[in-house]
Amino acid sequence: MSGAPLHSAPAGSTARGEKLGPVRVGLLGIGTVGGGTFDVLRRNQDEIRRRAGRPIEIVRVADLDVARARERVGEGVDVVDDARRVVADPDIDVVVELIGGCGIARELVLAAIEQGKHVVTANKALLAVHGNEIFRAASQRGVMVAFEAAVAGGVPIIKALREGLTANRIEWIAGIINGTTNFILSEMRERKLAFHVVLAEAQRLGYAEADPTFDIEGMDAAHKITILSAIAFGVPVQFDKCHVEGITQLQADDIRYAEQLGYRIKLLGIARRRTDSSPGGFELRVHPTLIPASRLIASVEGAMNAVLVKGDAVGHTMYYGKGAGAEPTASAVVADLVDVARMFTSDPGNRVPHLAFQAESLSDLPVLPIDAVQTAYYLRLRVADQPGVLADVTRILADGEISIDAALQREPGEGENQTDIILLTHRTIERRIVAAIERIEALETVLSRVVRIRLEDLQ
């Protein structure tokens, strides 16, 4: 190759040797994650400057509790009680939004973009619901919206999908992406306790909020898998089409039976590309799932997160770590700030796209309805202890073109006249299993509603 040789500039300088000034950051919210972000930036400032090529400084903080915030950040940082003042400050280069929710946070993020400021956020709900609007506005204004901390805390899954796996056609993602529910399910399995008992323990230990609905009903995981699916498949975010089931109805009996059959139950967020349907589409769902105990992701316990990704070239890769907490999440926020600092003066057209694919090249691949999902199933039936019951059930399943992979029947106790039958099916279409269950529940020998839990082999 001919032409003049290329020379790299020293860290903190331009190619002409001019020192780059600091990136000036406005922080909206100095709670758990905001405080962690402030601490990590201060503690590792030398390392961060060497990596970013310039200093990164939090110069203004907005928090309703001004006295507490001033005590937290000390001298040298301006503290205000109105986040709009930070957004409007012409000296602020990057706004870090750590307020949460979709109300004022959306207003502030869009205002920051309109003012030409880059944005870093950990707000998965905001991006899952309003991401298309926010990314479009950012592209039009030529600024970056960085959001590694929005999914799986300190686990760099966004960067892995968007950059590290860019050569791959992503086939599917399956993630344990809510630490609260994983802690609850781990404790239910290990200690043989009921859901409500473990939930109270999780609240006492700080793993669950006083109102845990957002976590235990699967909404938090749904926001995250919506974002991951958009990056994996190059589609707009489509949270309203995500099927969501939480863990509140799970019973200790099912966790025990699953283990006897060689499985563990996890709340998974799943995004799967489907090429067997016409037109094509992808599954987007959150629900309790049986996973073979031999799979590495099945051994993820406690409040930890893990995301398993299948790419056509690389095969399986797994990303594991702390999905929440002050400094794990702050790690991702600061990494985003470093990325922004590095790309500050770059041509917007050459930056990594928000959703991995160029904005004009996003696909219209649709989200398939839940009745078109294809998976295997765990079924638990409470039945009368009499001959012919299992034969009737298997006949109904066969009529629905559903084959059985394994069966387990509990021996009734002395004096009992009913028992549990547990069946594992091969993969089938959801609408078939729903129709079969309706017929099974109509049998006089079936004494209660059939418990159904989806099963994924993750191969």
Catalytic residue among 117, 124, 159, 224: 224
- Sorting pLDDT into bands at 50, 70 and 90, what band is 383? very high
Please give the structure tokens belonging to residue 292: 């073979």
Q: Are residues 189 and 315 located together in one domain of the fold?
A: yes
H runs (alpha helix) in 144-194: 157-159, 179-191
CB 348 within 8 A of CB 413: no
| Number of CB atoms found within 10 A of residue 238's CB | 18
Q: Are residues 117 and 172 located together in one domain of the fold?
A: no
Instruction: Assess if residue 3 is contained within a domain.
Output: no
Instruction: Assess if residue 16 is contained within a domain.
Output: no
Mean pLDDT, to the nearest integer, of 239-249?
97
Q: Are residues 266 and 282 located together in one domain of the fold?
A: yes
Q: Does 414 score more than 90 pLDDT?
A: no
Q: Are residues 124 and 267 located together in one domain of the fold?
A: no
Please identify, among 361, 381, 411, the residue that sits at the C-terminal boundary of a domain: 361
Instruction: Assess if residue 17 is contained within a domain.
Output: no
Mean pLDDT, to the nearest integer, of 344-350?
80
Instruction: Assess if residue 200 is contained within a domain.
Output: yes
Q: What is the pLDDT of residue 158?
A: 96
pTM, 2 dp: 0.93
Instruction: Assess if residue 382 is contained within a domain.
Output: yes
Instruction: Assess if residue 6 is contained within a domain.
Output: no
Q: Please give the Cα distance from 324 to 44 (Å, whole number).
A: 20
Please identify, among 338, 361, 384, the residue that sits at the C-terminal boundary of a domain: 361
CATH of the domain at 129: 3.40.50.720
Please identify, among 361, 381, 414, the residue that sits at the C-terminal boundary of a domain: 361
CA atoms within 13 A on the CB side of 115: 21
Q: Please give the Cα distance from 227 to 269 (Å, whole number).
A: 11
Active site residue 322: no
Q: What is the pLDDT of residue 18?
A: 53
Q: Please give the Cα distance from 143 to 351 (Å, whole number).
A: 10
Q: Are residues 128 and 51 located together in one domain of the fold?
A: yes
The domain in which residue 80 lies consists of 23-154+328-361
Q: Please give the Cα distance from 228 to 230 (Å, whole number).
A: 5
Q: What is the pLDDT of residue 20?
A: 79
pLDDT in tens, 107-116: 999 999 999 9
Q: Are residues 174 and 311 located together in one domain of the fold?
A: yes
Mean pLDDT, to the nearest integer, of 210-215?
95
Q: Are residues 61 and 181 located together in one domain of the fold?
A: no
Instruction: Assess if residue 165 is contained within a domain.
Output: yes
Averaged pLDDT of the chain: 92
Q: Does 10 score more than 90 pLDDT?
A: no
pLDDT in tens, 56-87: 999 999 999 999 999 999 988 999 999 999 99
Q: What is the pLDDT of residue 2?
A: 39
How far, CA to CA in Å, does 332 sit from each of 49, 279, 303?
Answer: 16, 37, 18
Q: Are residues 387 and 353 located together in one domain of the fold?
A: no
Mean pLDDT, to the nearest integer, of 388-393?
95
Q: Does 12 score more than 50 pLDDT?
A: no
Q: Does 173 score more than 60 pLDDT?
A: yes
Q: Please give the Cα distance from 330 to 443 (Å, whole number).
A: 55
Give the residue with greater pLDDT, 357 vs 135. 135
- Sorting pLDDT into bands at 50, 70 and 90, what band is 415? confident
Residues in CB range of 283: below 8 A, 6 or more apart: 270, 271, 272, 274, 367, 368, 372, 373, 374
3-state secondary structure of 291: strand
- Sorting pLDDT into bands at 50, 70 and 90, what band is 1? very low
Mean pLDDT, to the nearest integer, of 171-181?
97
Q: Does 4 score more than 80 pLDDT?
A: no
Q: Are residues 44 and 90 located together in one domain of the fold?
A: yes
Domain count, the chain: 3
Q: Are residues 27 and 52 located together in one domain of the fold?
A: yes
Mean pLDDT, to the nearest integer, of 406-416?
84
Instruction: Assess if residue 269 is contained within a domain.
Output: yes
Q: Are residues 130 and 161 located together in one domain of the fold?
A: no
Q: Are residues 67 and 143 located together in one domain of the fold?
A: yes
- Sorting pLDDT into bands at 50, 70 and 90, what band is 348? confident
CATH of the domain at 420: 3.30.70.260
CATH of the domain at 170: 3.30.360.10
